[in-house]
Structure 1
């Protein structure tokens, strides 16, 4: 008797295409929500960890970071590169860094080490906003000067 392997029934192309389209919409909505400050990157990562469809896990980490106001590709790549360095996984190829997805960040086989390193690096790169425009070279606006008294 030859080895019998169960072959799953083929998924109709229309069903597969509809699922792929929904997954793309889900990812686009998450990135747009970050760009419009309705969600934070942390919110998206939390949702990705519990998303039963796995659609959010396919978001590339640099795309998520760049969706934030004030973030460009350079800053996003520095955060990812630093995260890899903290983990002892330095990657010099830019293409490899651009390919990192949330599924890599949330991989349960790492025991949360990747997510912890990422969070540590974000804290290093956090930039505080100045207390007022032109600080420290311009005096505080009148409203702020009155609040201090």
Structure 2
């Protein structure tokens, strides 16, 4: 690989990381889409990771925080991070770092969509539960959110 190619790859990675955190897998996919061979960019990307310029842990934390603030549940966040190639350990670290209250988050999402009142009609409560399940909350979070307590 020529010095010119190395410079192009380095600049491409730097531009990506300057905008926001990216996962290792995401950067690799974007470089492949640009037509760069993986044999050419893998050593350079490894250098970025070794220098802690690119970090899957930082990416997981920032992505987790963003999705949590959008009202997504733990199931949805875990699946999202898996698509970016983040392992289970980094996901758990990200959850520990932001220390989310899933119960209150589910309740806030329910209130924002359906209001604060307790729904006594079975079909309407089922609709609320399905919505929260779609958002990625687990059953215990959903029960807490739709209960009248």
| TM-score, with length taken from structure 2 | 0.32
Question: Which protein is bigger by CA-based radius of gyration?
Answer: 1
| TM-score, with length taken from structure 1 | 0.32
Which protein is richer in helix relative to its size? 2
